[in-house]
Chain A
Amino acid sequence: MDLIGNLSIGFAAAVSPENLLYCLIGCVLGTLVGVLPGLGPAATVAMLLPVTFSLDATGALIMLAGIFYGAQYGGSTTAILVNLPGETSSVVTAIDGYQMARQGRAGLALRAAACGSFFAGSVATLAIAIFAPVLGNLALKFGAPEYFSLMALGLVASVALAHGSLTKALGMIVLGIVCGLVGADKNSSAIRFSFGIPELQDGLNVVAVAMGMFGLGEIISNLQSGVEQRTAVKTPFRDLWPRMADLRAMAPAVGRGTVIGGVLGLLPGGGPMLSSFTAYAFEKKISDDPSRFGKGALEGVAAPESANNAGAQMSFIPLLTLGVPANVTMALMAGAMLMQGIQPGPSVIQEQPALFWGLVVSMWIGNLMLVLLNLPLVGLWVKLLSVRYEYLYLAIAAFCCVGVYSLNNSPFDVYVMVAFGLAGYVFKKLGAEPAPFIMGMILGPMMEEFLRRSMQLSRGDPSIFVLRPISAVLLFLAVAAIVIVAIPSIRKKKDIALVEE
């Protein structure tokens, strides 16, 4: 069968000693940074991106993928032991996980998270292997109008599903698109918004902007509000390997979480956070005794952890098959691929099978490494949390500086980071999130290009977007997403679901 052949190409690429090493380094670094408070996967990937510059394309992507799910995983460890979710997708894990830890069942909670993640990761890897080529073939039939509509749907869905004000987020998208337009226009070679600054002619560097908004912006707001110093629940770190009885108890929740995460991760704008929130809400709903939730229910850890890992991996599919990043982390991965000279999209599978299948297989290997490594290393990760924020933020700032400088060996990128650090803080203070901004910045220029090509194709008739069936469906979904979210009753429900603690 083709699948076996493809996977063996992947194994051949991923199991080479160097690539195994990169995968391991990625997982360890990702977990290390992911454990630290105030740094989510997006910031972690942005910060560690420069580390991968000297590698070849396959190695760099394998390492970045390792960093990504390492960061994802590190966040849940701290959520359980310290009630400090490393990133938004493990917020729900903290609810029951921390209660379990306080009841002396930290080991069980950590095992549930680890096994759930591994199972979900394995299923998601298999799903990618099966569906990516199919979707890739479909994507080859996409023309400019379909891509334009797909991106519009991606942008809208990413804010419709996120928390906070819809109109603020839409405004941030538009602002992000504007910043994405800075520099030379591909078609007319007009230089836009450069204000006579030569460095701006090449455009703003997305990684520098993202690090300013997520890295520096985060530091400034933490310094304002103060970061709580928390201490971990004392727990014996022996006895962390799963037992048969545990596996049986958590299996149904893990299965449900995997399915939910796998489906939601595919949606543009979906990914880990939405997956874990939905999985938690679902477990609570179908439980015989919902009152156990919040007091240390095993399902409350197993389901969202499986879901966020499945979601995290499935969000690779839109990037690898359509070339459209579904969330900010994937947008940064797209940036990394471009820096390595690879245009993300359907052609990657055909033209670079070793890279594509190597990446897929390495995801599974990485998940295995995380389980094998992190259960024994839990004690070490927890120790990291005792580093005081007054020292931690300086290390983060230094890493951001060196990282951004080394993107192009250009001090200008550092100034860009400063400017967007300030902007990110101000917008956050005004209740507007930076994530939609970055999405707009990355997708905006592509959308302009596809809009232009579509209009050339139709000789100036905008009805092409609704007359072509795939494009029409995508646009309809985008409009529906806005309308549904704008309906007051649903809006209220969404806010409760996402704010619920």
Chain B
Amino acid sequence: MPGAIHLRKPRDFFLGLIFLVIAVGLVIYARQYEFGSARQIGPGFFPMLLGFLLGGFGCLHIALGFFGEAEPGEPIELRPIALVLAGVALFGILVRPAGLFISTLTLVIVAGAAYRSRRPLPLLIYAVAMAAGCVVVFPWLLGQQIPVLGSWFDR
């Protein structure tokens, strides 16, 4: 297709887009704060300035996405991203109510499933060992204030 505009560098384009979207949000959001004067700079001045700077970089990269040599796109696998992040988030959710042992166990099992061709039994054994290890090292040896068993186990 001669003359048609092609997206040549998707990485530049999408990075620019992210910058631009955040910049627009920033400028709109910063308007609620006092801009101040040159002598007495208000809380709204710096965010506004950053918003315009970021917007500039955003537009630049969006434009760059249409020039130069085309680069191939890379495949993205959602499974490892989702499982690792879910495991960590679950740790955060569980650490207070269930305690360190159960939250570490959950983290290792959920994040462990992110690895393809994983056999369940070794993972389970590893998870128990890991959870026990964390309990020994952090609250017991280092004396950190993390409940081994959380509020669910309170009487």
From A192, A417, A431, A452, B33 is in contact (CB under 8 Å) with A192
Instruction: List CB contacts (< 8 Å) of A405-444 with chain B.
Output: 405-406, 409, 411-412, 414-415, 417-418, 421-422, 425-427, 429-432
Chain B 107-127, CB-CB to A under 8 Å as 1, else 0, gives: 110011011001000000011
A398 engages B104 (CB within 8 Å)? yes
Smallest CB separation, B108 vs chain A (Å): 5
B15 engages A430 (CB within 8 Å)? yes
Smallest CB separation, B68 vs chain A (Å): 12
From A51, A185, A223, A405, B95 is in contact (CB under 8 Å) with A405
Instruction: List CB contacts (< 8 Å) of B11-29 with chain A.
Output: 11-12, 14-15, 18-19, 22, 26, 29
B29 engages A418 (CB within 8 Å)? no
- The answer to whether residues A405 and B92 also contact, given A175-B54, A187-B43 and a CB cut-off of 8 A, is yes
B38 engages A219 (CB within 8 Å)? no
- The answer to whether residues A429 and B107 also contact, given A175-B54, A411-B96, A460-B39 and a CB cut-off of 8 A, is no
Smallest CB separation, B77 vs chain A (Å): 6
Instruction: List CB contacts (< 8 Å) of A427-478 with chain B.
Output: 427, 429-432, 448, 451-452, 455-456, 459-462
A216 engages B84 (CB within 8 Å)? yes
Q: Determine the residue in chain B with the shortest Cβ distance to A405.
A: B95
- The answer to whether residues A398 and B108 also contact, given A193-B29, A411-B92 and a CB cut-off of 8 A, is yes
Interface centre among A223, A402, A462 (most CB of B within 10 A): A402
Cα A202 to Cα B76 in complex, Å, equals: 35
- The answer to whether residues A405 and B146 also contact, given A224-B76, A414-B89, A431-B12 and a CB cut-off of 8 A, is yes
A431 engages B84 (CB within 8 Å)? no
Cα A168 to Cα B143 in complex, Å, equals: 43
B130 engages A394 (CB within 8 Å)? yes
A455 engages B88 (CB within 8 Å)? no
B134 engages A402 (CB within 8 Å)? yes
Chain A 183-211, CB-CB to B under 8 Å as 1, else 0, gives: 00101101011000000000000000000
**DSSP class of A's interface residues: helix, strand, loop or mixed?**
helix
Q: Is B74 an interface residue (CB 8 A)?
A: yes
Q: Is B67 an interface residue (CB 8 A)?
A: no
B142 engages A51 (CB within 8 Å)? yes
Smallest CB separation, A301 vs chain B (Å): 34
From A170, A224, A431, B57 is in contact (CB under 8 Å) with A170
Cα A139 to Cα B48 in complex, Å, equals: 31
A411 engages B47 (CB within 8 Å)? no
A175 engages B19 (CB within 8 Å)? yes
* B87: A residues at CB distance < 8 A: 397
* B12: A residues at CB distance < 8 A: 430-431
Q: Is A135 an interface residue (CB 8 A)?
A: no
A417 engages B88 (CB within 8 Å)? yes
Chain B 36-58, CB-CB to A under 8 Å as 1, else 0, gives: 01111111001100100110011
Cα A201 to Cα B80 in complex, Å, equals: 32
Cα A451 to Cα B111 in complex, Å, equals: 44
B50 engages A178 (CB within 8 Å)? yes
Chain A 45-76, CB-CB to B under 8 Å as 1, else 0, gives: 00000110110000000000000000000000
Q: Determine the residue in chain B with the shortest Cβ distance to A454.
A: B41
A451 engages B46 (CB within 8 Å)? yes
B50 engages A177 (CB within 8 Å)? yes
A224 engages B50 (CB within 8 Å)? no
Cα A393 to Cα B85 in complex, Å, equals: 13
**Further 6 A-B residue pairs, CB within 8 A, beyond A178-B50, A188-B43, A452-B41:** A175-B19, A192-B43, A224-B77, A402-B138, A432-B15, A455-B39
What are 19 pairs between A and B in contact, CB < 8 Å? Answer: A54-B142, A54-B143, A167-B61, A170-B57, A174-B50, A193-B47, A216-B85, A224-B81, A401-B91, A402-B138, A402-B144, A406-B146, A417-B88, A421-B85, A430-B14, A432-B15, A448-B46, A455-B40, A455-B41
Residues of A within 8 A of B (CB): 50-51, 53-54, 167-168, 170-171, 174-175, 177-178, 181, 185, 187-188, 190, 192-193, 216, 219-220, 223-224, 390-391, 393-395, 397-398, 400-402, 405-406, 409, 411-412, 414-415, 417-418, 421-422, 425-427, 429-432, 448, 451-452, 455-456, 459-462
Please list the 10 inter-chain residue pairs (A to B) with the smallest Cβ-Cβ separation, ordered nearest first.
Answer: A414-B92, A460-B38, A460-B39, A171-B57, A223-B80, A430-B15, A190-B43, A411-B92, A185-B43, A401-B91
